[in-house]
Chain A
Amino acid sequence: MTHLPIVSTRHLMPLAVAGALALAASPAAAQQKTVKIGFISTFSGPTAVIGNDMRNSFELALDHLGRKMGGLPVEVIYEDDQQKPEAGKQKTDKLIESDKVDFIVGYIWSNVLLASLKSAVDSKTFLITSNAGPSQLAGELCSPYVFSTSWQNDQTPQVMGLYMNQKGVKTAFLIGPNYAAGKDMLAGVASTFKGQVVGQELTKWPDQLDFSAELSKARAARPDAIFVFYPGAAGVQFLTQYGQAGLKGQIPLYTAFTIDETTLPRQKDLALGVPGAQEWVNDLPNEENKRFVADYIKKHSGARPSFYGAQTYDAANLVNSAVVAVKGDTSKKDEMRAEMEKANFKSVRGNFKYGKNHMPIQNFYLQDVVKDADGNFVLKTVATIVENDQDRFHDKCPMK
């Protein structure tokens, strides 16, 4: 959308010139007195709830670190990608060129990440993705400057595919959004699912929130199960319409990233009994996680963090480990990289290692939705499905 002048047009020209000169003057050569981190996520529209969860978790991590890394104060600049690749890329460029950040963290959406990747890599700015994990990033587009604290998109649905095999599902109908991650997700399920995929529908993303046509098609195909991937508010919409279509008792649902702590409050009993897989779950027993979840609940009046937040909390600690290793001298990029490759920090998901493509090698757990003693809807871990799972694209990565 366009942004237009605020002042009367008569004064426009002098003001414009003054404005330009002011712009020139302001981002003067910044002295290296702070660690500057740029944060790109979605803060507007229906998926803002995810961005806020990530921001809250990042802020909590900084609080736990005393708001310093390697002795230097931390400055974070939050930017909104509006869920659009173009906007995300523009903001990334701004963070790199105008704000001159040392690290960029965030990226919910794979398409936004892919659009912004070149700018970060070309400028040799470290980029930590705390959610998006497109297959290209794990493969041919891997870069020494990019690290992930989440997963590769295919991994979680692959895990669901294995689970569906365990449950004896013979035929499945797959539904997801038509963008990089959506395609990865459906491909991931198909790669491990041994039964027959009787239908697959990719919907227009992010505009299409009316799934009546796709649900009708799924019903007509009579599968044993439906697999679905719809993050954020779309997940709420899908489950609502799934219920409205009368499918709840008829065809079981298997999900990835569709039910989480951000969407569960609205999905409520529609989500009961619907399984999903994750690399981080709220009830993991390690110390770091207990502290993260407890402090988050305390700071945000009862709201629970989601996996988006957990991954972002880890990202803060990953960056910290690097800055500490070089004692605050962020120009020592090779040393920082070496430190990050060790994954030498306490992750809330438990310790994990990095593959050569800077993607985590980690466990995946199965979760179910249950009602707790107070009548709230919560996610509960049911089993560990795989241990030390590595993405299937690492061979395509040219890094050593």
Chain B
Amino acid sequence: MTPMVNARNLVVAALLAFLLLLPVYTGVTGNPFLLTLFTRIVILALAATSLNLILGYGGMVSFGHAAYLGIGGYAIGILASEGITSGFVQWPVALIVSALVALIIGLFCLRTRGVYFIMITLAFAQMVYYVAAGLARYGGDDGLTIYRRSQFDGLNLSNKPTFYYLCLALLLGTIFLVWRLVNSRFGLVIQGARSNERRMQSIGFPTFRYRLTCFVIAGTLCGLAGALLANHTDFVSPAMMYWTRSGDLIVMVVLGGMSSTFGPLIGAVALLVLEEALSGLTEYWQIILGPLLLLVVLFARGGIDGLLEAASLRPRLGGGADAKVRRG
């Protein structure tokens, strides 16, 4: 049994406290850039958390998850450019379209496994990318500027701290939702299907339906992240959906720790903060980054969360076994 006060829980608690108090800090020091940076981090953490649902827990390696960022974003962008700026219309549209597209893509892709699944999710994401690039009316490859953010009565999204807290609240809500899902019967079926689908089916679970539902939920949540991202940057473009963006999301999840509650958040923070901090220091630091990712894959498979957890466990009987079971 790991004690409550351990390295991993301390780190998570510190991070959450930091995130909660950030606007106060930036308000005092007068540095809006930091708030902008962390708003972006929080939004991408939301996207990564949604990916973790299918990737970490479900074992579905979707290389096309960034498509939903784009769908959510373009829903906001297109409606805004047509004069519909009410958030009460825009956001539900973003979520519904994301869900529908996830349903369609899932229906095709979930019939495949392994590398074919990777390839076909990637193919569908590229198709969504090319559709967006072909929308000449909405900027095409050049992208679309959003002149007014989503309007909600009583909530001014153009106010930075307000918007930040909204994103943070949605992130925490998503983490909670995913946690509940995973620890429910639904979640157990998903994880079981990841380990051994045939056995789950022989027990009597219609695994395809479960996995599809999981896939749709993940896509919808990522669409929400897309809507937030569009509001944050006041700009959408097909580049949001290019396959390398999906790769970035996967890296965040794996780096943070797959199939762990706060792993995606930790991964997003780690990735993006260091991207900002280090790109100022030296021009060629990515040359170490690439091999580092390889090393993480080879030796630190559980990501940061896994390392923290290993640090949390005292070396005693059962501690090692616990860790292995936890990592799934």
Contact = CB atoms under 8 A, between A and B. Distances in A.
Given A3-B279, A86-B237, A16 B274 contact: yes
A27 interface: yes
Interface stretch (A113-121, A253-261, A364-372, A375-383): A113-121
B247 A2 contact: yes
A95 B276 CA distance: 14
Interface residues of B, number: 57
Interface stretch (B98-106, B121-129, B184-192, B300-308): B300-308
Given A16-B273, A178-B140, A4 B255 contact: yes
A130 interface: no
Contact of A114 (B32, B145, B271): B145
Contacts of A9: 255, 270, 296, 300, 303-304, 307
Contact of A2 (B18, B234, B235, B271): B271
B88 interface: no
A213 interface: no
Interface string A66-95: 000000000000000000111001000110
A136 to B, nearest CB: 10
Interface of A is mostly: helix
A111 interface: yes
A4 B274 CA distance: 7
B34 A85 contact: no
Contacts, number: 136
Contact of B304 (A12, A28, A97, A98): A12
Interface stretch (A18-26, A49-57, A277-285, A334-342): A18-26
B31 A180 contact: no
Contacts of B274: 3-7, 12, 15-16, 19
A1 interface: yes
Contact of B278 (A6, A17, A119): A6
A13 interface: yes
B293 A4 contact: yes
B291 to A, nearest CB: 10
B145 A115 contact: yes
B37 A115 contact: no
Contacts of B239: 84-86
A220 interface: no
B288 interface: yes
A4 B286 contact: yes
A2 B34 contact: no
Interface in B36-59: 36-38
B94 interface: no
A117 B14 CA distance: 38
B322 interface: no
7 contacts: A1-B248, A4-B289, A12-B304, A23-B37, A85-B235, A97-B36, A178-B140
Interface of B: 11, 14-15, 18, 25-26, 29-34, 36-38, 140-143, 145, 147, 233-235, 237, 239-240, 244, 247-248, 251, 255, 266, 269-271, 273-279, 285-286, 288-290, 292-293, 296, 300, 303-304, 307-308, 311
For the complex of A and B, 8 pairs with smallest distance between CB atoms: A111-B142, A19-B277, A3-B275, A2-B248, A4-B289, A98-B33, A97-B33, A5-B274
Given A2-B271, A24-B25, 16 more contacts: A3-B289, A4-B274, A5-B274, A6-B285, A19-B273, A20-B38, A23-B277, A24-B31, A85-B237, A86-B239, A86-B240, A89-B233, A93-B36, A110-B142, A118-B147, A118-B235
